[in-house]
């Protein structure tokens, strides 16, 4: 029997593919670092039965309507704002993502970013490298405390709760905002539920882990930054699109807020000329929230297992459900 054609939009290590080779006919964009060009992707999906894609691919209506055999799109990410879910549903194309396997790793990174921004770790490292360390001084590179400070988590889902567990270990009172309350987190972590504006006013650290949707686009705007404390530190590990970056730049440059740690940006990738990179009170990372070797491997395997389940006539393991 003819094996389903699976198009992989990036070069994937052979050892991940080997266990699935009897089930699938793999076609692959052979570059490790460069995304597949749009025109190539539009051409190859015409014959694909399944696609394994990354968040660098825009799986929009045009693409889905040009893919007559496509049954499943396995996205190597938990966020799926790069995919037109409505168009996929209309065409009966299953979309899967990679929840859970990346939760703890992303929470580790979020907390590292929080620590780095508060204690000026990157700036301090640059200080030594620039040969500037001559003496110990009382306020040399003095930052903000973390222990005992209030953390406000916007998007208290899987990753949000995992960040909250780390915060609890640091003795931080936890506040959160969602559309719905989480009694489990309130009981186990002592987390307090709050409206968005109240959280902004109260938190010393505002951490964004909210998915990018039409509702959350530019949620963190000028108005939001003005409500935060002047000592507040803003951390974003969700998607750049939830922030109005111009407003964030002005808030940081004019000391409306104190500092920021950012793993994600409105238009990725950014370079050294990006205005936010030029500010000393910002730590910028190249979207590495889930980037541990162990977790990236688990994400790829979960994509493969989702594809296998669908083509074996079973339910996908982690389907994206249209809210």
Orientation of helix 103-119 relative to helix 121-129, angle to 10°: 60
Nearest distance in Å: CB 45, ligand NAP:
24
Q: How many CA atoms lie within 13 A of 76 on its CB side?
A: 22
Site string for ligand NAP, 219-248 (x = CB under 6 A): ------------------xxx---------
DSSP 18: G
Handedness of CA 140, 141, 144, 146 (dihedral sign): negative
* Interacting span for ligand NAP (CB under 6 A) from 11-19, 62-70, 82-90, 283-291: 283-291
Residue in 4, 50, 143, 160 binding ligand NAP, rule: CB under 6 A: 160
Task: Dump strand ranges (E) for 143-202.
Answer: 151-154, 174-177, 192-193
Tell me how far apart the alpha carbons of residues 258 and 269 are, in angstroms, rounded to a whole number. 25
Nearest distance in Å: CB 83, ligand NAP:
12
- Verify binding: residue 166, ligand NAP, rule CB under 6 A: no
Nearest distance in Å: CB 172, ligand NAP:
19
DSSP 201: H
Looking at the Cβ atoms of 6 and 282, the one nearer to ligand NAP is: 282
Nearest distance in Å: CB 264, ligand NAP:
5
Residue in 4, 50, 79, 152 binding ligand NAP, rule: CB under 6 A: 79
Residues 99-138 that bind ligand NAP (CB under 6 A): 99, 102, 106
Looking at the Cβ atoms of 48 and 101, the one nearer to ligand NAP is: 101
Residue in 152, 287, 316, 320 binding ligand NAP, rule: CB under 6 A: 287
Report residue 125 CA to chain centroid gap: 25
Residue in 12, 74, 78, 200 binding ligand NAP, rule: CB under 6 A: 78
Report, as residue numbers or ranges, the catalytic residues. 239, 268, 287
Residue in 156, 206, 228, 282 binding ligand NAP, rule: CB under 6 A: 156
Nearest distance in Å: CB 204, ligand NAP:
20
Is-contact 145 119, C-beta < 8 A? no
Tell me how far apart the alpha carbons of residues 206 and 208 are, in angstroms, rounded to a whole number. 7
Q: Which residues of 295-316 are buried (b: 16+ CB within 10 A; e: fewer)?
A: bbebbbebbbbbbbbbbeeeeb
| CA-derived radius of gyration, the chain | 21
Looking at the Cβ atoms of 55 and 251, the one nearer to ligand NAP is: 55
Tell me how far apart the alpha carbons of residues 82 and 57 are, in angstroms, rounded to a whole number. 7
Nearest distance in Å: CB 291, ligand NAP:
7
3-state SS class at 263: coil
Nearest distance in Å: CB 227, ligand NAP:
16
- Verify binding: residue 159, ligand NAP, rule CB under 6 A: yes
Site string for ligand NAP, 176-215 (x = CB under 6 A): --xxx----------------------------xxxx--x
Residues 245-274 that bind ligand NAP (CB under 6 A): 263-264
Cross-strand pairs, 319: 96
Looking at the Cβ atoms of 52 and 159, the one nearer to ligand NAP is: 159
Orientation of helix 103-119 relative to helix 158-169, angle to 10°: 50
DSSP 150: P
How buried is residue 178: exposed, middle or buried, by Cβ count under 10 Å (0-12/13-18/19+)?
middle
Is-contact 65 87, C-beta < 8 A? yes
Binding site for ligand NAP (CB under 6 A): 78-79, 99, 102, 106, 155-160, 178-180, 209-212, 215-216, 237-239, 263-264, 287, 289-290
């Amino acid at each position: 029997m003819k094996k389903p054609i699976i198009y992989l939009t990036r070069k994937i290590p052979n050892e991940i593919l080997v266990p699935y080779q009897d089930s699938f006919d793999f076609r692959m964009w052979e570059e490790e670092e460069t995304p597949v060009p749009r025109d190539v992707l539009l051409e190859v999906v015409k014959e694909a039965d399944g696609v394994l894609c990354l968040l660098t691919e825009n799986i929009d209506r045009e693409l889905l309507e040009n893919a007559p055999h496509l049954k499943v799109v396995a996205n190597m990410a938990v966020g799926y704002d790069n995919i037109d879910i409505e168009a996929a549903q209309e065409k009966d194309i299953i979309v899967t993502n990679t929840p859970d396997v990346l939760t703890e790793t992303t929470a580790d990174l979020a907390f590292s970013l929080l620590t780095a921004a508060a204690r000026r770790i990157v700036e301090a490292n640059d200080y030594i490298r620039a040969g500037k360390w001559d003496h110990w001084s009382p306020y040399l590179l003095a930052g903000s405390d973390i222990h005992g400070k209030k953390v406000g988590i916007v998007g208290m889902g899987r990753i949000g709760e995992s960040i909250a567990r780390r915060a609890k270990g640091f003795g931080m009172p936890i506040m959160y905002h969602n559309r719905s309350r989480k009694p489990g987190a309130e009981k186990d972590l002592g987390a307090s539920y709050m409206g968005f504006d109240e959280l902004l006013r109260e938190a010393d650290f505002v951490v964004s882990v909210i998915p990018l949707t039409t509702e959350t686009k530019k949620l963190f705007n000028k108005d939001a930054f003005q409500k935060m404390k002047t000592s507040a530190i803003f951390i974003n590990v969700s998607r750049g699109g939830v922030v109005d970056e111009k407003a964030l730049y002005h808030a940081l440059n004019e000391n409306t807020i104190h500092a920021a740690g950012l793993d994600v940006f409105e238009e990725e990738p950014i370079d050294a000329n990006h205005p936010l990179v030029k500010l000393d009170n910002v730590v910028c990372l190249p979207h590495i929230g889930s980037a541990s070797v162990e977790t990236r491997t688990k994400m790829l395997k979960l994509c493969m297992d989702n594809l296998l389940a669908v083509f074996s006539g079973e339910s996908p393991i982690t389907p994206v459900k249209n809210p």
